[in-house]
Copies of this chain bind each other. A is one copy, B any other.
Amino acid sequence: MALRARALYDFNSENPGEVSVKENEILTLYSETDIEGWFEGTNGKGERGLFPASYVEILRNDAASTFNNNSCSTSGDSRYANIPPGGFDGSYKPQNKVENFSKPSPPGFSFAAPPPQQQPQHAYQQPSQGSDDDWDDDWDDSSTVADEPGTGGGRYHDFEGNGPSTYRVSTSSMSRGNAQQAKSSATVSRNLNRFSTFVKSGGEAFVLGEASGFVKDGDKICVVMGQYGPEWQENPYPFTCAIDDPTKQTKFKGMKSYISYKLTPTHTHNPVNRRYKHFDWLYARLVEKFPVISVPHIPEKQATGRFEEDFISKRRKGLIWWMNHMTTHPVLSKCDVFQHFLTCSSTDEKAWKQGKRKAEKDEMVGANFFLTISHPAAPLDFQEVESKIDGFKTFTKRMDDSALQLNATVNEFARKQISGFKKEYQKVGMSFKFLSQAFEMDQQPYSAGLNQAISFTGDAYEAIGEYFAEQPSKDLDPIMDLLALYQGHLANYPDIIHVQKGALTKVKESQKHVEEGKMDRTQADGINERCNIISCATLAEIQHFHHIRVRDFKAQMQHYLQQQIAFYQKITGKLEEALQKYDNA
């Protein structure tokens, strides 16, 4: 039975492999599983190709369809109910590697293995949207990974239409919570590109004054004016959280297995057990809630070998890094959903579900998030803001380039140490051993000491070869972990910058409208003020980024050098031991 769908909007193909569709056109789909936001199918003219999944609505004849009986695929579907690249002002096109990590691209591109220099070793990936309340179903990373590679994606999540069975995109650009929302009174036109991050993040709705919600005191997020500009007010109760004891758990009489991690926050000292899917769910909530905050990416999913020691250890390290960035972020560390995740008892299922539902029903997400921001009294100079943002954009581009290069170099250096360097040292060791064996053919008693010393030297070089092979896990791997985490942040920033730039454009538009007499000044002042809030938040987030960047890279470089020093000292020690053998030879 052919799977059919109806086009909700016009879509004009721009790239090879895409087909154009007209609103209301009936389409045939090859699969109901989208590929990173795209469906493959045939349009009314019989042309075959790709079109955005979010532009269509699947038509179902059978209400009792098996669709959605699997919560995993639901999760997958709704996660990728995102949209093709397209910019706020049409000029914002994917053009650099940073953006490659943050935008969906047609599967023809993203499915092909990217060239190694384009792909960080440890790609952190984006979350699945929390799907439904069946939390204890076997909803784990194993089940979604086969048709959802870790690449692509970004933050183009569909914050509208939570009903997982449709891809309907509302013609209203209002964010979730629009039932309670004030009617729009803005005359500044909405962006026609409803797939712009600015729109989807709720940035536009907020700027246009469409966001509304009841902000409790506890929800307040403060931006203060610091030495270097706006910054997030520090968390007055800083804490950290250890991640230990990854242990394999089973359920359904051993038919399903998963890894559980023990999380121990320092502010409660109560350990809780969490699975990867919990991290994944949390990540989705955070991305949804905080439009201009760079939520650290969680470690990538993996299809096979999930229970292998190396993988578990690597994932744990990734989660530790992630946790570190979570707990040190003044906003993220304090937010309810994160606190729920950290503190809710693993055995109190009811409490967990309550907290989960509450988080999923949180109204202060997207556009409404901006309502919670308390900012310094003095408004920012928008020209200065624009210049700072542009500078930061250039900075992230350069940093991403150099991180990519460093990652490739370090990865290759590690590979060389594990293979080539080890081999060379061990070949030298073996040749010394071979020489000592030849010398042993001579039975002269006065040569026995020398033979042993040369043999020991051979062993020493074989050991040094091993040292080289073992070293990267101690010093280069942590650097790659760090780079992966930062590459995740750098992939977030184009969207963050995009939201701020969208707001600034609205300000310019409104000024023009006022000059033309199409808008009254009060309304324009509101837009100005709300743009000021977005700008404060964006600059605070950028400031935070620089602070943790300097902190992390300093610590990691020190760690790397300390490890390297210890490594060469170990080699020296081994050689000194060998040298001593000659003393009485």
Contact A441 B553, beta carbon cutoff 8 Å: no
User: Which of B391, B421, B427, B444 is A412 in contact with, Cβ under 8 Å?
Assistant: B427
Interface string of A445-478 (1 = CB under 8 A from B): 0110010011001000000000000000000000
Contact A557 B569, beta carbon cutoff 8 Å: no
Q: A398 contacts which chain B residues (CB < 8 A)?
A: 437-438, 441
Query: Complex formed: what's the CA distance from A585 to B557 in Å?
Result: 11
A215 at interface (Cβ–Cβ under 8 A)? no
Contact B442 A395, beta carbon cutoff 8 Å: yes
A578 at interface (Cβ–Cβ under 8 A)? yes
Query: Complex formed: what's the CA distance from A557 to B433 in Å?
Result: 13
Interface bin, chain A? 35 or more
Query: Complex formed: what's the CA distance from A405 to B431 in Å?
Result: 6
Query: Complex formed: what's the CA distance from A525 to B482 in Å?
Result: 87
Closest chain-B Cβ to A357's Cβ sits at a distance in Å of: 42
Contact B435 A402, beta carbon cutoff 8 Å: yes
Q: A135 contacts which chain B residues (CB < 8 A)?
A: none
Contact A394 B441, beta carbon cutoff 8 Å: yes
User: Which of B413, B443, B558, B572 is A565 in contact with, Cβ under 8 Å?
Assistant: B572
A133 at interface (Cβ–Cβ under 8 A)? no
Interface string of A40-74 (1 = CB under 8 A from B): 00000000000000000000000000000000000
Query: Complex formed: what's the CA distance from A561 to B572 in Å?
Result: 9
Contact A441 B395, beta carbon cutoff 8 Å: yes
User: Which of B402, B447, B554 is A437 in contact with, Cβ under 8 Å?
Assistant: B402
Query: Complex formed: what's the CA distance from A550 to B405 in Å?
Result: 50
A562 at interface (Cβ–Cβ under 8 A)? yes
By beta carbon, the residue of chain B nearest A430 is B409
By beta carbon, the residue of chain B nearest A408 is B431
Q: A550 contacts which chain B residues (CB < 8 A)?
A: 444, 446-447, 450
Say whether, besides A568-B568, A578-B561, A442 and B546 are in contact (CB < 8 Å): yes
Q: A576 contacts which chain B residues (CB < 8 A)?
A: 561, 565
Contact B394 A406, beta carbon cutoff 8 Å: no
Interface string of A197-217 (1 = CB under 8 A from B): 000000000000000000000
Contact B447 A434, beta carbon cutoff 8 Å: no
A439 at interface (Cβ–Cβ under 8 A)? yes
A403 at interface (Cβ–Cβ under 8 A)? yes
Q: A399 contacts which chain B residues (CB < 8 A)?
A: 435, 438-439, 441
A432 at interface (Cβ–Cβ under 8 A)? yes
A416 at interface (Cβ–Cβ under 8 A)? yes
By beta carbon, the residue of chain B nearest A407 is B431
Contact A562 B546, beta carbon cutoff 8 Å: no
Query: Complex formed: what's the CA distance from A197 to B401 in Å?
Result: 70
CB-based closest 8 A-B pairs: A398-B438, A402-B438, A409-B431, A406-B431, A561-B579, A402-B435, A568-B572, A395-B441
A residues whose Cβ falls under 8 Å from a Cβ of B = 228, 391, 394-395, 398-399, 401-403, 405-406, 409-410, 412-413, 416, 420-421, 424, 427-428, 430-432, 434-435, 437-439, 441-444, 446-447, 450, 453-454, 457, 546-547, 549-550, 553-554, 557-558, 561-562, 564-565, 568-569, 571-572, 575-576, 578-579, 582, 585
